[in-house]
Chain A
Amino acid sequence: MRRTIAALAAVTLLGLAGCATDEPAAGPSGSASAAGSGTGEQSKFFVQADYDAELALLDATATGPADRPWEQVLNPKMVETAKFKKAGPHKLCFSNAALNNPWRQVGFKTMQAEVEAQGSRIKEFVHVDAEGKDQKQIADINDLLGKGCDALIVSPNTTATLTPAVTAACKAGLPVIVFDRGVDTPCPVTFINPIGGYGFGHVGAEFVSQRMKPGGKLLALRILPGVDVLETRWSAAKVAFDKAGVDVVGVEFTDGDPAKTKKIVNDYIQRHGTIDGVWMDAGAVAVAAVEAFQDAGKPVPPINGEDQLDFLKLWKDKGLTAIAPTYPTYQWRTPIIAALRILDGQPVSNPWKLPQPTVTQENLDSYLDLDMPPLHYAMCGCTDLPGYPQRWK
């Protein structure tokens, strides 16, 4: 009796497993039908208007001090903040999504240094880390509202799910400043971020598709599915690849794990004989991808990374054909500056769009600082802050 059931279940499972493995074998690269280039369906995060706006911003000129990009604004739209005017020194509160990767670590150290630099105007800086949990961040924001903060800075863990909590914070009457990821409500005084994911994805994809040989094979490496900032990067890259007619032979998730990345790249090199271009949605595993080509004894194809120093160093040492779009960590300085301006009653721009520079072959040397640790981000805008460079080492 039990054995029959076991056998039945096993057969059912076999069917399941069979379906799952057989299906993709029919089309060589996942859901390859769309656009005929293996990029799959467009993400539902893709918003054409936002995409167009971000691409236009790539060519816009910023207003503000040229040597302080974290104070610059692209296409400013000023809003009045007179009602928030308050005598200092102030208590600033910050609900942080997480500190679980080098980008956020570098950014947060930059923010702390900015607080120190503005020490005379800030009497207290409260920081709560949500450890990457939506549920905890909602509770954290609620908790901060009871602490007599003069302004609340939020870096949301997820756009849609943090919206109710941020709305509640706005209703409490204190100025709310959101940066990095946004929220689906216009209630914060300002939303600060660089140009954004479409810009990032587009710059990398356009470079790689132009430099690789026509009709060549491209491998797209992504960190995780379902993270909004990363989805927009990929959806912009997809548009660029479809337009250029690039043959995207694979879209793989690496979990940010360099070992997994090397295995994937290695297998794709073997499967296709050669890979002519690599695009990635974040720079964390760029070095691992390059190493996979080196270990296989193949030339490294055109590739994009990010402004992490280990990649920039490898790029220079090995003379790669590369580009590094950035999502600058200097944006962590801006919320503090914005909060103080708002508490002074000065108008600020909403949205506050920061420039998003790209590291290219021409300006590579100006960003490469060999004294900083390999996972440091070149775009930290932190060299003038107290404690540099020791704080970031």
Chain B
Amino acid sequence: MQTVQRPPLPLRLLRVRPGGLVPIIALLAVLLILVAVRQPDFFAPPSLMSFLGRSAPIILLAAGQYFVIVSGEFDLSVGALVTAQVVVAARLIDSEPAHTWPVVLLLLGFGALVGLVNGLITTRLRVPSFITTLGMLLILLGAVYLWSDGAPKGGLSDEFRRFGRWAFEDVPVLGRVPYALIVLLAFAALAVLVARSDFGRTLIAVGDNPRTAELSGVRVWRHRTIAFVLSGVAAAVAAILIGGYSGVSFQAGAGLEFGAITAVVLGGVALGGGRGSVVGAMLGALSLELLFALMNFYGVSGALRSTVQGAIILLAVAVSAPRSSSR
């Protein structure tokens, strides 16, 4: 966390290049300072590592959501997809260690398939993605409740839960490194590579102005569909980590779609597309998680939390994205 050693960022940085990383780094720095004041031992390697590990799922979801949003669309189905994946995994694994790897592969495939369907309905049938993925949300939740008779069945094997729950022990300096953190680093690196590739740059152009992109020979629908597939796969990985971290439950993915979208916007990505970076989106998710931890450390009354969260989101977005159009 090099950001800790940096001096607080001066106010002039509020006038920054739209979509840049400065606002989110400033927000993160403020949150880190507040944590440091209240809970200095948070920065001790073991607790920092476990914090990063447990934040991995939402960071991955934000990365996936970035690709969809920057291309000018929304994915509201990721939370439902995570819930569905966790419940499906529990029923198929049924506490049987040997089923772990096949089910992991199946989940990744399932995530990609849901993304593909979202993408094709949005691009080929020209249904706005807000509606496509809202419908998908209802379908996924309804179907998984229906399939499991209203209560999750079966159980996750310890092998499956390992990814989200356990760590490499006795690592020099760091103490313990959660598997989830390794998974996060690997996928984050991949996400940055994809975002910097030709595909990633074209995707921003698509979000900025689909017509211009189309005229310059880009197959807009294909790029957007791939973005949805990436979001679906990210949701699958997140589901594996969340299922591992906390076990099977119908609440596994509740509200994650709004969390991911909020994180992406905090990270300076414009809703409506065409501007932002995947690193910003992931830092946005990290800030959001840090905010929740901060509220635990400061003992903010449970009922007031939404108000604090709402105020900070409005504030951060008002300051960092003064030029985004209303849609």
**Interface, chain A (partner B; CB < 8 A):** 3, 6, 9-10, 13-14, 16-17, 20-21, 24-25, 28-31, 40, 99-102, 105-106, 222, 225, 249-253, 255-259, 261-264, 266-268, 270-271, 284, 287-288, 291, 295-296, 373-375, 393
Contact = CB atoms under 8 A, between A and B. Distances in A.
Contact of A270 (B41, B249, B292): B41
Given A10-B315, A10-B318, A393-B153, A271 B297 contact: yes
Contacts of A31: 301
The 4 lowest CB-CB distance pairs between A and B, nearest first, are: A267-B296, A258-B246, A30-B301, A17-B311
Contact of A288 (B39, B151, B246, B304): B246
B293 A263 contact: yes
Given A9-B318, A10-B318, A295-B165, A256 B251 contact: yes
Nearest to B315: A13
B296 A262 contact: no
A20 B150 contact: no
B245 interface: yes
B251 to A, nearest CB: 4
Given A6-B318, A99-B150, A270-B39, 4 more contacts: A10-B319, A24-B300, A105-B149, A250-B296
Given A21-B308, A271-B39, A288 B247 contact: yes
Contacts of B47: 270
Contacts of A291: 165, 246-247
Given A16-B311, A259-B252, A271-B296, A251 B54 contact: no
A24 B150 contact: no
Interface string B231-253: 00000000000100111011110
11 contacts: A13-B315, A24-B304, A106-B151, A251-B301, A252-B302, A253-B302, A259-B251, A262-B246, A270-B47, A270-B297, A271-B296
Nearest to A102: B151
Contacts of A3: 322
Contacts of A288: 246-247
B109 interface: no
A221 to B, nearest CB: 9
B312 interface: yes
A373 B153 contact: yes
A373 B301 CA distance: 35
A101 B152 CA distance: 10
A99 B303 CA distance: 25
Given A3-B322, A375-B152, A266 B254 contact: no
A267 B305 CA distance: 15
Given A6-B322, A20-B308, A271-B39, A105 B151 contact: yes
A267 to B, nearest CB: 4
Contacts of A24: 298-301, 304
B157 interface: no
B314 interface: yes
A384 to B, nearest CB: 21
Interface string B110-131: 0000000000000000000000
A292 to B, nearest CB: 9
A21 B154 CA distance: 42
B251 A257 contact: yes
A79 B173 CA distance: 73
Given A266-B54, A375-B151, A257 B254 contact: yes
Nearest to A6: B322
Contacts of B165: 291, 295
Contacts of A225: 302-303
Nearest to B254: A257
A374 B155 contact: yes
Contact of B298 (A9, A21, A255): A21
A20 B313 CA distance: 13
Nearest to A273: B41
Contacts of B221: none
B296 A20 contact: no
B180 to A, nearest CB: 12
A206 B174 CA distance: 41
B307 interface: yes
Contacts of A13: 311, 314-315, 318
Contacts of B250: 101
B10 to A, nearest CB: 16
Taking each of B39, B246, B292, B312, which has the highest tally of chain A beta carbons within 10 Å of its own beta carbon?
Answer: B246
A143 B83 CA distance: 34
Nearest to A221: B302
Contacts of B151: 101-102, 105-106, 373, 375
B187 interface: no
A256 B252 CA distance: 9
Given A225-B303, A270-B39, A287-B247, A17 B315 contact: yes
B95 to A, nearest CB: 9
A259 B245 contact: yes
Given A13-B315, A257-B254, A266-B50, A30 B299 contact: yes
Contacts of A393: 153
A7 B249 CA distance: 44
A211 B44 CA distance: 32
B245 A20 contact: no
Contacts of B152: 102, 375
B249 A268 contact: no
A255 B251 contact: yes
A222 B245 CA distance: 20
A271 to B, nearest CB: 5
Given A10-B319, A13-B318, A288-B246, A263 B296 contact: yes
A210 to B, nearest CB: 25
Contacts of B149: 105
Interface string B75-117: 0000000000000000000000000000000000000000000
Contacts of A270: 39, 41-42, 47, 297
A39 to B, nearest CB: 12
B303 to A, nearest CB: 5
A250 B322 contact: no
Contact of A257 (B57, B249, B297): B249
Interface in B240-294: 242, 245-247, 249-252, 254-255, 292-293
Nearest to B95: A374
Taking each of B39, B254, B301, B312, which has the highest tally of chain A beta carbons within 10 Å of its own beta carbon?
Answer: B301
B217 to A, nearest CB: 37
